[in-house]
């Protein structure tokens, strides 16, 4: 394998651990938990794993542990640091007993069902330490939802002597992990299930999960690119750059990148929904800033746009909900039609009058994108909707009207961008390298203590790694009931940007100033070597949330 000098140097980096994980560990049980909502329904569905206590780790006395065979699964989209979670699990179970073994199921959850795996030995794991990507075993989006899958997975685990599974994924993957843990506990199958919080979107978080891994690195990668574009804009002084950023269900990435780069505008989807703004309201707000900057001779700027914006505009959200519901039951009938116009006409006929009006008012290409194949959860694939191009076109039309009315005297040329895959497999920042290794090590402790239905938790992450607090949180604590594929199902509640939270409130207090200035912040590339205040910094979001 050919490696760059940076790869070689990163391979030798030793991730930092919380002090509680450096020696023998003692588990301290906290208060019993309940789900964030729909307590009666969740408890009924998860009688064996509901109400378990919060767990924290402290230094303990050394005890001998039996060797364990553990299976690990990478699920869903890639996020920087996944390899370090696996490294942490590997080192952790070897610390429990040198004869412990780690098996990686290939290609995501499907590997568990199809019994496709490799044993992860030191020779393999050592080459992936502190690297980006999920290529050590691959990932996939197979959903573990059916009892046939659970039973087949259990049979495959028994063949390998596996007594614990670690599922590394986002909210949906960890929801599946919770269902699997409950099923195996109900059957007394002898297989534990532990989750690890992964998603660059940042929407898997709560009081016990301060941040999902990969968010820090991805935002730093995107912020570097945004900074480069802003420097170009400030040099050429002739383009407005509309930059769509990953994050279909929440605007955490957009907000964090705004805090790091200080763009002229950043749309926060949650605010759009809270204020019941229309698409025209959003377009008007952008056009007004363009006009004000043009009045002072600045015909350039940057606008950050969350990937899932269209789902937060109330009328669009209602339309998409109706589309999801209709297509969940009639997708084959729609796809059987040859032309897009025929498909649009059939769909429009089955919408409410309000949604039909919105649907018919959309440009044909946007309407077609809204009808595209759903994701595995039955939702529209918002990454396929070219919101950034739609907004450029609509702002251009709005500015023409403003120019006729004498409200705009300037030029407008838009450049669209979408940053998504660029950040998912980046080499993890020092923070993510340390955090992910600690999560994996935490998972190994939970396994060693016989726990199941828990998610690894590492808190106090704005402090030094030595001061981080490791432990476990019951996955049922995070769950509520939501409609999926036309049915109510238990899922982990997504964490949205809190409009009364410190990060958004700070942003709101300075955005008018940022709108008019051109003294952007240029973060530059991720730094791995050098002073801690440069290399080990956490996100602006975490710092503001914790008053740092």
pLDDT one-digit tens code per residue, 462-518 = 999 999 999 999 999 999 999 877 789 999 999 999 999 999 999 999 999 999 999
Q: Is 345 annotated as catalytic?
A: no
pLDDT for 491 equals 95
Q: Identify the pLDDT of residue 378.
A: 66
Where do the DSSP E strands lie in 189-314?
192-197, 240-245, 265-266, 301-306
The radius of gyration of the chain's CA atoms, rounded to the nearest angstrom, is 24
- Res 3: pLDDT: 86
The mean per-residue pLDDT over the stretch 32-56 comes to 97
Q: How confident is the model at residue 300 (pLDDT cuts 50, 70, 90)?
A: very high
- What does the pLDDT read at residue 324? 86
d(CA 500, CA 494): 17
Per-residue pLDDT of 312-354, as tens digits, reads 998 888 898 899 889 888 888 988 998 899 999 999 999 999 9
**pLDDT tens digit sequence for 221-274:** 999 999 999 999 999 999 999 999 998 889 999 999 999 999 999 999 999 999
SS3 209: coil
Helix-, strand-, coil-residue percentages of the chain, each rounded to 5: 45, 15, 35
Name which of 56-65, 160-169, 182-191, 277-286 the model is least confident about.
Answer: 56-65
What percent of the chain clears pLDDT 70, i.e. is strictly above it? 98
Question: What are the structural domains, with CATH classification, of the chain?
Answer: 24-201+429-484 (3.40.50.450), 217-247+249-306+385-417+494-548 (3.40.50.460), 311-384 (1.10.10.480)
Q: Does the pLDDT value for residue 40 go beyond 80?
A: yes
pLDDT at 375: 67
Catalytic residue among 91, 171, 172, 201: 201
pLDDT for position 383: 67
Query: Mean pLDDT for the chain?
Result: 94
CB neighbour burial string for 403-415, b if at least 16 within 10 angstroms, e if fewer? eeeeebebebebb
Q: What is the pLDDT of residue 455?
A: 98
Q: How many CB atoms lie within 10 A of CB 146?
A: 10
Structure tokens at 214: 């990969």
| Residue 337: both structure tokens together | 């039609």
Secondary structure (H, E, C), 48-115: CCCCCEEEEEEECCCCCCCCCEEEEEEECCCCCCHHHHHHHHHHHHHHHCCCCEEEEECCCHHHHHHC
Q: What number of other Cβ atoms are within 10 A of residue 44's Cβ? A: 11
**Could you tell me the pLDDT band of residue 377, with boundaries at 50, 70 and 90?**
low
Pairing mode, if any, of strands 164-169 and 192-197? Answer: parallel
pLDDT at 57 (0 to 100): 96
Given a cut of 70, whether residue 373 has pLDDT beyond it is no
Give the bridge partners for 164, in sequence order: 70, 192
Structure confidence by residue, pLDDT tens digits, 73-106:
999 999 999 999 999 999 999 999 999 999 999 9
Share of the chain above pLDDT 90, in %: 83
Query: What is the pLDDT at residue 317?
Result: 84
Is residue 213 within 8 A of residue 85, CB to CB? The reply is yes
The residue-averaged pLDDT of 174-190 equals 96
- Of residues 165 and 370, more confidence is placed in 165
In the prediction, which pLDDT does 486 show?
A: 76
Q: Which CA distances in Å does 252 have to 138, 211, 216, 292, 473? A: 26, 11, 11, 27, 22
Q: Which residues fall within 8 angstroms of residue 305, CB to CB, at 6 or more apart?
A: 242, 243, 244, 245, 254, 267, 387, 388, 391
> How would you class 350 by CB atoms within 10 Å of its CB: exposed for 0-12, middle for 13-18, buried for 19 or more?
middle
Of 122-131, 163-172, 329-338, give the lowest mean pLDDT range.
329-338
Tell which residue, 51, 18, 24, 48, has the closest CA to residue 473.
51
Residues near 12 by Cβ (< 8 Å), separated by ≥ 6? none
CA distances from 174 to 145, 181, 259, 480 (A): 12, 10, 29, 13
How much is the pLDDT for 376? 63
């Amino acid at each position: 394998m050919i490696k760059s000098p940076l790869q070689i140097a990163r391979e030798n980096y030793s991730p930092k651990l919380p002090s509680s994980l450096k020696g023998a560990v003692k588990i301290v049980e906290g208060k019993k938990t309940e789900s964030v909502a729909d307590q009666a329904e969740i408890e009924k569905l998860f009688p064996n794993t509901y109400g378990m206590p919060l767990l924290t780790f402290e230094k303990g006395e050394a005890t001998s542990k039996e060797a364990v065979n553990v299976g690990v699964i990478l699920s869903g989209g890639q996020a920087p640091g996944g390899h370090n979670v696996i490294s942490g699990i590997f080192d952790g179970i070897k610390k429990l007993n040198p004869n412990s073994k780690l098996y990686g199921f290939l290609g995501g959850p499907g590997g568990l069902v199809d019994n496709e795996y490799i044993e992860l030995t030191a020779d393999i794991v050592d080459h992936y330490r502190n690297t980006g990507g999920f290529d050590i075993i691959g990932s996939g989006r197979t959903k573990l939802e059916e009892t046939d899958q659970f039973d087949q997975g259990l049979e495959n685990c028994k063949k390998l002597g596996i007594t614990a599974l670690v599922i590394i994924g986002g909210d949906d993957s960890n929801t599946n992990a919770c269902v699997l843990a409950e099923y195996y506990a109900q059957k007394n199958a002898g297989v534990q299930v532990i989750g690890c919080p992964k998603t660059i979107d940042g929407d898997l978080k709560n009081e016990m999960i301060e941040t999902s891994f990969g968010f820090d690195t991805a935002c730093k990668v995107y912020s570097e690119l945004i900074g480069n574009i802003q420097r170009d804009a400030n040099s050429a002084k002739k383009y407005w750059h509309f930059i769509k950023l990953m994050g279909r269900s929440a605007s955490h990435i957009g907000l964090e990148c705004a805090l790091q780069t200080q763009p002229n505008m950043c749309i926060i989807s949650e605010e759009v929904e809270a204020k019941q703004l229309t698409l025209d309201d959003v377009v008007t707000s952008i056009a007004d800033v363009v006009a004000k900057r043009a009045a002072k001779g600045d015909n350039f700027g940057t606008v950050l746009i969350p990937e899932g914006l269209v789902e937060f505009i109330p009328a669009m959200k209602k339309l998409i909900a109706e589309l999801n519901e209709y297509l969940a039951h009639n997708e084959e009938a729609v796809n059987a039609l040859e032309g897009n116009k025929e498909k649009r006409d059939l769909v429009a006929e089955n919408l409410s009058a309000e949604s039909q009006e919105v649907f018919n008012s959309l440009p044909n290409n946007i309407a077609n994108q809204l009808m595209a194949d759903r994701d595995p959860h039955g939702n529209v694939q918002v990454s396929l909707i070219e919101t950034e191009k739609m907004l450029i076109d609509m702002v251009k039309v709005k500015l023409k009207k403003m120019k006729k009315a004498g409200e705009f005297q300037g030029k407008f040329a838009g450049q669209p961008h979408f940053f998504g895959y660029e950040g998912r497999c980046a080499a993890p920042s020092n923070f993510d390298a340390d955090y992910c290794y600690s999560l994996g090590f935490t998972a190994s402790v939970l396994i060693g203590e016989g726990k199941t239905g828990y998610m690894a938790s590492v808190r106090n992450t704005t402090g030094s790694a030595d001061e981080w607090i490791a432990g476990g949180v019951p996955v049922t604590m995070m769950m509520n009931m939501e409609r999926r594929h036309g049915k109510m199902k238990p899922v982990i509640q997504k964490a949205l940007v809190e409009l009364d939270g410190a990060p958004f409130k700070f942003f709101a207090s300075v955005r008018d100033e940022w709108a008019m200035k051109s003294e952007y912040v240029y973060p530059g590339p991720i730094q791995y070597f050098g002073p801690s205040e440069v290399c080990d910094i956490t996100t602006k979001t975490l710092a503001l949330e914790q008053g740092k």
